[in-house]
Amino acid sequence: MSYTALARKWRPKKFAELVGQEHVRRALVNALETGRVHHAFLFTGTRGVGKTTIARILAKCLNCETGVTAEPCGECSSCREIDAGRFIDLLEVDAASRTKVDDTRELLDNVQYAPTRGRYKVYLVDEVHMLSMHSFNALLKTLEEPPPHVKFLLATTDPQKLPATVLSRCLQFNLKRLPVGQIAEHLRQILEKEGIPCEAAGVRLIAQAADGSMRDGLSLLDQLIAFGGGKAGEAEARAMLGTISRDHVVRLVEALGAMDVTELARRARALEEWAPDYAQVLDELAALLVRVAMKQAVGDFEGDELYPPELLERLGQVLAPEDVQLFYQTAIIGRRDLALAPDPRTGFEMTLLRMIAFRPGSEASQARAPGASGGRASPAVAVGAAAVPPGVVPVATSGEQRGLAPGAGPAIPGQDAVAGSWASLVSQLELSGLARQLASNCVFIGRQGAVVRLALDPRNKLVRTAAQEDKLAQALSRHFGESVRLEFETAAPGVETPAQVEQRATQQELDSARRALEADPGVQGLRERFGATLLPETVRPVK
């Protein structure tokens, strides 16, 4: 008994069965219903997105015995013969094998004759870009003014190779690559109708490997069913496609989040026994990081069959948003440079190490920073030199603090210096992104024992999150050499934070630069002689 491939068995036979390509379906249906059917159509797009399928459905609509309709009956002899590929008035031509001008002239010799059985004689030319220039020239006149009983349906994957004279004579429809979710859903429906057991993750992997082509997806599904012995499971799909288990990728991300170089190297070495394609591993890693970033940015992001929202939520708490962006960028650059590495495994491992080495605030990057030394300066030396910024709330002396807090631990030496140079201290902390924004928009109130009290500018309260508080507390703990805990309150009106001090200083520099430029003799001369106008917003101070 012969077996019919899924791509042929489940090929759409009417517009309602098409998957995707709504923009093409709508235009053709409206044209058929209103009787405004052009004589030449050009369908473009990558392989397996439905160019020839749509052309055959259109030919069926034009020659159905019930009349020209957007819904062919599928039962008449014309519809059945078109589906079987033996309708005498549908001439399918493979331009890749008939490129010569003599072939085109032979084909066009019969254009003038009326159709034998159908209403229209339909020429379906596949891969039309393969025709020679002489063939195009022979086709042009007929394509522009064909007999009323002839329709041309052209299909190509490379429309750039078609002459502009041909393009101008056709209605052009660009078929889109199909989304992964749409391919996966269609494959699941086919498996249900075929009665074949499947796993959602396995179908999703096949849909991703199809790369936007439904025909490729169905061909891969056929291969997976044969490989899996009659089922479409995730393990079988990964083995057939040569991809590694998603658990390995998750563990790599967890090791990156923990900044555990030893565990990261161990996980990377463990992949060797699976002989993976390291480019695909980096693709999987980048894809997971994208999902984590989406979960961090959009709280109700549902994930997909491969990575559920619970997993993304857990990884989003382990990784900072700025780290996710850095790891993603490093992964895609590492994948690009993989071919330049001594071998793929070396390039993969170096990419993972680069993620940690380039991470802001990491030990590796701090060791290379200008002026960095092996040990940290003592807090009193590091922050004692700066003056108190204007508007900072003064802190009580050590004796006053002991009087205000009886029974509390002894005052910390150098505390007044910390309060007076909070801006200087913030610039020395190992902070970046939102954590630095949080520190810059606070005012130091005081420190008693392990508690550091800060006043937050209420206009920037959104930067205060649990994750950023934890980063700031860790940075202060490393600076002071002991664990500290943060307490926040709302800053009083008129209190100036380091961010506001910096903004005010920048504005003063800008105002000074504008005044200096306005007073410049050369500028005044240009104004007097030519009526020149100085645009204040374009002035920038010279650093």
Domain containing 101 — which CATH number? Answer: 3.40.50.300
Do 195 and 257 lie in a common domain?
no
Q: Six-digit token pair at 234?
A: 């995730």
Considering the domain boundaries, does residue 375 fall inside one?
no
- Residue 281: inside a domain, yes or no? yes
Rounded to an integer, what distance in angstroms lies between the CA atom of residue 18 and that of residue 221?
A: 18
pLDDT tens figures, 126-143: 999 988 888 888 888 888
| Cα distances (Å, whole numbers) of residue 293 to 303, 322, 490 | 11, 9, 31
**Do residues 427 and 458 share a domain?**
yes
The strand ranges marked E within 263-367 are: none
Bridging pattern class, strands 90-94 and 485-490: unpaired
Predicted pLDDT of residue 478 = 86
**Domain-located, residue 514:** yes
**DSSP code per residue over 255-281:** HHHHT-HHHHHHHHHHGGGG---HHHH
Exposed, middle or buried: residue 171 (CB in 10 Å: 0-12, 13-18, 19+)?
middle
- 296 lies in a domain? yes
128 and 236 both lie in a single domain: no
Give, in order, the Cα–Cα distances in Å from 306 to each of 98, 101, 279: 45, 52, 19
Shared-domain flag, residues 358 and 304: yes
Please check whether residue 543 lies inside any domain of the structure.
Answer: no
Domain at 211, CATH number: 1.10.8.60
Which pLDDT tens digit goes with each residue over 456-474?
888 888 888 888 888 888 8
Residue with tokens 């600076």: 479
**Residue where a domain stops, chosen among 217, 241, 265:** 241
478 and 530 in a common domain: no
Same domain as 162, residue 61: yes
Amino acid at 299: G
Separation of CA 156 from chain center: 28
Domains of the chain: total? 5
> Are residues 234 and 205 both part of a single domain?
yes
> In 305-393, at which residue ranges do the beta strands (DSSP E only) sit?
none
Which strand (E) or helix (H) includes residue 304?
none
* Cα–Cα distance measured from residue 325 to residue 468, given in angstroms and rounded to the nearest whole number: 17
**pTM assigned to the model:** 0.57
In a shared domain, residues 353 and 285: yes
- Residue 186: CB atoms within 10 A of its CB come to 20
**Residue 212, domain extent:** 180-241
Task: Please check whether residue 276 is in contact with residue 360, taking contact to mean a CB–CB distance below 8 angstroms.
Answer: no
What is the crossing angle of helices 278-297 and 344-357, to 10°? 30
- Which of 363, 394, 423 is the C-terminal boundary of a domain? 363
One-letter amino acid for residue 519 of the chain:
A
Find the CATH number of the domain harbouring 314: 1.20.272.10
First vs last Cα of the chain: how many Å apart? Answer: 83
Specify the pLDDT at position 368.
44
- What pLDDT is attached to residue 122? 93
Question: Is 307 in the same domain as 338?
Answer: yes
Task: Examine residue 370 and state whether it is found in any structural domain, yes or no.
Answer: no
Say if residue 47 is in the same domain as residue 154: yes
Q: Is 486 helix (H, G, I), strand (E, B) or coil?
A: strand
The residue among 174, 202, 218 that closes a domain is 174
What does the pLDDT read at residue 430? 82
pLDDT at 259: 86
Residue 543's pLDDT is 60
Query: Do 85 and 163 fall into the same domain?
Result: yes
Query: Which of 195, 331, 333, 354 has its CA nearest to residue 261?
Result: 354
pLDDT value for 360: 66
Would you say residue 439 lies in a domain?
Answer: yes
Output the pLDDT for position 1.
Answer: 52
Asked if 239 and 227 count as a contact pair (C-beta separation under 8 A), the reply is: yes
Residue 490: inside a domain, yes or no?
yes
Q: What is the pLDDT of residue 155?
A: 93
Using DSSP's 3-state secondary structure scheme, residue 155 falls into: strand
- Both 21 and 163 in one domain: the answer is yes
The Cα–Cα gap between 15 and 31 comes to 13
One digit per residue, pLDDT tens: the chain, 543 residues? 578 889 898 999 999 999 888 999 999 999 999 989 999 999 999 889 999 999 999 999 999 999 899 999 989 999 999 988 889 999 888 888 877 788 788 878 888 888 888 899 999 999 999 888 888 888 888 888 889 999 999 999 999 999 999 999 999 999 999 998 899 999 999 999 999 999 888 899 899 888 889 999 999 999 999 988 888 888 888 888 877 777 888 889 999 988 888 888 888 888 887 778 889 899 989 999 999 999 898 878 877 777 888 888 889 888 888 999 999 999 999 999 998 999 999 999 999 999 988 876 554 444 444 444 333 333 333 333 333 333 333 443 333 333 333 333 333 334 444 444 788 888 888 888 888 888 888 988 888 888 888 988 888 888 888 888 888 888 888 888 888 889 888 888 777 888 888 888 888 888 888 888 888 888 787 777 777 787 877 777 766
